[in-house]
Amino acid sequence: MTLLTIYTVAILGYYVIWKLKLSFAPKFELKSIKQGTPSLWVLEFEPENGSIKPYVPGDYFFIRFKNADITTEGHPFSASSAITSDYSNSIEFMIKEAGDWTGSLQNVNVGDIATLEGPYGNFFPDDVQESEDPFVLLAGGIGLTPNLSILRHEHEKNSNRRIHLVWGLAIEEDMFMIEELETMKAANPNFSYDIIFSNEEVEGFPHGFITHEYLEELGVSSLYQSAKFFVCGPPPMLNASKTLLDNQNVPDNHIYLDEFGF
C-alpha cells in the first residue's frame, strides 16, 4: 500500500506539473492556412510574443488549439519549415487528412491560437549537418515533410551537397511542392529528385514502389556505403525501406527514421 501510494502521488504530481507547463507554454497565432492538395493542409504559425524557439529540421511539435472549433488534444507533427529567411519567425506544418482531428482542420481559421509543445526529435543530428556526406531522402506521401525541412535548411545555406530525394506517392493528386523543388534543383546542381506512383499510372513518371531495383536504376545504389539516409513515410513504406537498406548493408548509423507512429 505504501508503494502504491508513492507511485500514485508521483504520477499525479507529474500530471499536475505537465498541465502547469502546458498552461504556461508560449502561444502561437495561426498566420495562414491553405490546402496544398485536396487532402493536405498547410498551416503557418507565428508567436504571439517573442520569437520562435530554435529547432532543427525533422523536429516535431505537439499542436494544441486553444480557441478553435477543434478538439484541444495535442497531436504531433514534424515541421516542414526550417529556420530560414522565409521562416525567420514563423513555423510551418503540412498535415494530411487522416482522421477526426485532421479532418476538422477545415474548421480552423487565421487568428486562432495554439500552443506548440516541443521541439522533440533527433532526425537530423548536429554531426550529420556539419558533415559533407551525400544525403538520400526517401519519402512516402506526406513523409516528405521532415525531408522538405532538411532541403530548405540546405537551400538556405547555399549548399552544394549531393542530395537525392526519392518520393513515393499513391496518386497524382498527392503531388505538391514541385515548383519549390525545381528552384532548389536550379540552385544546387548536385540536387536531384525522382517521383514514383504506386496506385495509378501517371504520364511521365514510373509506376511502382521504392525498391532496390528502382534505386539502382536511379544511381542511388552507388551511395549505399557513403550517404546518410533519411526515411519518413507510413509504416509499410518505412519498414520496407529499412529492410531494403539493411539488405544492402547500409550501416545502421547512416539511417535516420521518422516514424508516423507515436
pLDDT digits (tens, 9 = 90+) for 142-183: 999 999 999 999 999 999 999 999 999 999 999 999 999 999
The whole-angstrom separation of Cα 183 and Cα 168 is 20
The whole-angstrom separation of Cα 222 and Cα 99 is 39
Give pLDDT, residue 67.
Answer: 82
Q: How confident is the model at residue 259 (pLDDT cuts 50, 70, 90)?
A: confident
User: Would you tell me how many other CB atoms lie within 10 Å of the CB of residue 175?
Assistant: 16
Q: In what order do the strands lie in the sheet with 27-37?
A: 75-78, 60-65, 113-120, 27-37, 40-47, 91-96
Per-chain mean pLDDT for the chain = 91
Check if the beta carbon of residue 148 is closer than 8 Å to that of residue 11. no
Average confidence (pLDDT) over 78-95? 96
The whole-angstrom separation of Cα 140 and Cα 169 is 6
The whole-angstrom separation of Cα 138 and Cα 146 is 11
Q: How confident is the model at residue 77 (pLDDT cuts 50, 70, 90)?
A: very high
Question: Above 80 in pLDDT, residue 60?
Answer: yes
Give pLDDT, residue 18.
Answer: 46
Ordered domains of the chain (ranges, CATH): 2-120 (2.40.30.10), 126-256 (3.40.50.80)
**What is the per-residue pLDDT across 100-129, written as a single tens digit (0 to 9) for each?**
899 999 999 999 999 999 999 999 999 999
Check if the beta carbon of residue 77 is closer than 8 Å to that of residue 67. no
The CB-side HSE value for 166 (13 A sphere, CA atoms) comes to: 22
Pairing of strands 191-197, 255-259: unpaired
Percent of the chain with pLDDT over 90: 82
Give pLDDT, residue 98.
Answer: 86
The CB-side HSE value for 185 (13 A sphere, CA atoms) comes to: 11
Question: Above 70 in pLDDT, residue 12?
Answer: no
Q: How confident is the model at residue 15 (pLDDT cuts 50, 70, 90)?
A: very low
Average confidence (pLDDT) over 57-65? 95
Q: How confident is the model at residue 39 (pLDDT cuts 50, 70, 90)?
A: very high
C-alpha cell at 96: 494530411
Q: How confident is the model at residue 14 (pLDDT cuts 50, 70, 90)?
A: very low
Check if the beta carbon of residue 206 is closer than 8 Å to that of residue 196. yes
Provide φ and ψ at 143, rounded to 5°. Answer: -65, -5
Handedness of CA 166, 43, 98, 204 (dihedral sign): negative
